[in-house]
Amino acid sequence: MSETYVECLVTKEPSLIGRLIKFVLIMLTAVFGLLGLVGFAYGIPLLIALLTGLGAYLAHLNAYIEYEYLYLDKEISIDKIKAQTRRKKVASFEVERMEILAPIRSYHLDQYKNRAGKVTDYSIGREEQPDKRYVMYYDGNQKIILSPSEELVKAVRSVSPRKVFLD
């Protein structure tokens, strides 16, 4: 049996709100840290500086996210990488249970437009020109938005040509 292995790494664009929250928390950490060093209010500013510093670290982790798509032996696996330090497997999809994989603006998706279900976005998070994001309907109730490479799409299409569209 021939196994195909394709790996694709995409970087999600950091949100403006996430970057703003991180910036504000860093500034608050600096201000309260300086107040604590001056000896203001018996060390309470140092405790607040510690908490805002922790918040800034967590905001940094959640602001810079990458997704790694891995296709191996009729299965698409998605890992979430936070700030290039922490990796977590978030989803795994079998190609046999996939209904359709098509570009986000494809006319092949017209019959799926009114379908209610869970929408999950594992893409770059923005619309480009031309838009290279794909939509996968999976197992009847999930809509997954991806930003796969052409090599990944071709590998999935070689296994399931009637479910994958390139238009």
At residue 68, the 3 state secondary structure works out as: strand
Beta strands 134-138; 98-103: pairing state? antiparallel
- DSSP-assigned states of every residue in 149-160: -HHHHHHHHHH-
At residue 27, the 3 state secondary structure works out as: helix
pLDDT, one tens digit per residue, over 107-124 is 998 888 888 888 999 998
Residue 2's pLDDT band (cuts 50, 70, 90)? low
**Which pLDDT belongs to residue 167?**
82
Segment 138-142 long-range contacts (CB within 8 Å, at least 24 positions apart): 138/93, 138/97, 138/98, 138/99, 139/97, 139/98, 139/99, 140/99, 141/117, 142/117, 142/118
Residue 1 confidence (pLDDT) above 90: no
**Which pLDDT belongs to residue 78?**
95
| Alpha-carbon span 144 to 30, nearest angstrom | 41
The proportion of the chain whose per-residue pLDDT surpasses 90, expressed as a percent, equals: 52
Indicate the pTM of the whole model. 0.81
Residue 157's pLDDT band (cuts 50, 70, 90)? very high
pLDDT, one tens digit per residue, over 13-67 is 888 888 899 999 999 999 999 888 887 777 788 899 999 999 999 998 888 899 9
Q: Token pair for residue 127?
A: 């619309």
Q: Token pair for residue 132?
A: 């290279």
Task: Give the residue-averaged pLDDT of 6-16.
Answer: 88
Residue 73 confidence (pLDDT) above 60: yes
